[in-house]
Amino acid sequence: MKHMVILTGAGMSAESGLKTFRDADGLWEGHDVMEVATPEGFASNPELVLEFYNQRRRQLLEVTPNSGHIDLAQLETDFKVTIITQNVDDLHERAGSTEVVHLHGELLKARNIVDEFSIIDWKTDIKLGDTCSNGHQLRPHIVWFGEAVPMIDQAINICMTADILVIIGTSMQVYPAASLMQYTPQGIPIYFIDPKPALKTQNNLTVIAEPATVGIKQLKELLKTR
């Protein structure tokens, strides 16, 4: 089986009703990103940050995978599929994908503020005063701006083994995720699905200027002809 590596971003989950990362004015749900997605923001106002992610978590539990998530899971019938996602939701897993690497953490997990590897499943609100067994405050298991991306080395190694690369619903502007394409073997087929693609079709790159649900169906038809 050929190894298909799929990079997904906010556009993958947008059609399930989850807001994309930030609006055109740079605000995220009315907040400056630096207030709610940095260690400094958490240190300054932990209650605001916890409630911000509590709202995101509640919303996630109300939505379901879209047809694009389901179509990607079905690709495992014909390919070895590894999904590397910038998304913090669990929609890929709920749709049936079995190999998912979360670069930026997971909304339905928590960890304490001392140990980044003290990861536990968490599906309810996190409140100030909620602590681990050692008495340390819990926080969302989210990689904030300015923090290391612990899964990036694993993601690079996965990309180095790709036979096909698919990029879906991401601007390819957020690093280090945007650099992953550079680690794939030279000349492999690359498909880029996004309604406003930042790349143009060239050589081994095929651009599908569609939302995720539509573009993935077109991708599956293209793969039949290869």
Q: Which residues are catalytic?
A: 104
Compute the distance between CA of residue 223 and CA of residue 43 in angstroms, rounded to an integer.
Answer: 48
Beta bridge partners of 105: 142
With 0-12 / 13-18 / 19 or more C-beta atoms within 10 angstroms meaning exposed / middle / buried, residue 113 is: middle
Q: How wide is the angle at C-alpha 114 spanned by C-alphas 102 and 10, nearest 5°?
A: 25
| CB-facing half-sphere around the CA of 1: CA atoms within 13 A | 11
Contacts of 215 (CB under 8 A, 6+ apart): 68, 168, 193, 194, 208, 209
Cβ atoms within 10 Å of 121's Cβ, excluding its own: 9
Question: Quick one: tokens of 55?
Answer: 């709202």
d(CA 140, CA 119): 9
Buried b (16+ CB within 10 A) or exposed e, 126-159: beeeeebeeeebbbbbbbbeeeeeebbeebbebb
For residues 223 and 226, what is the distance between their CA atoms, to the nearest angstrom?
Answer: 5
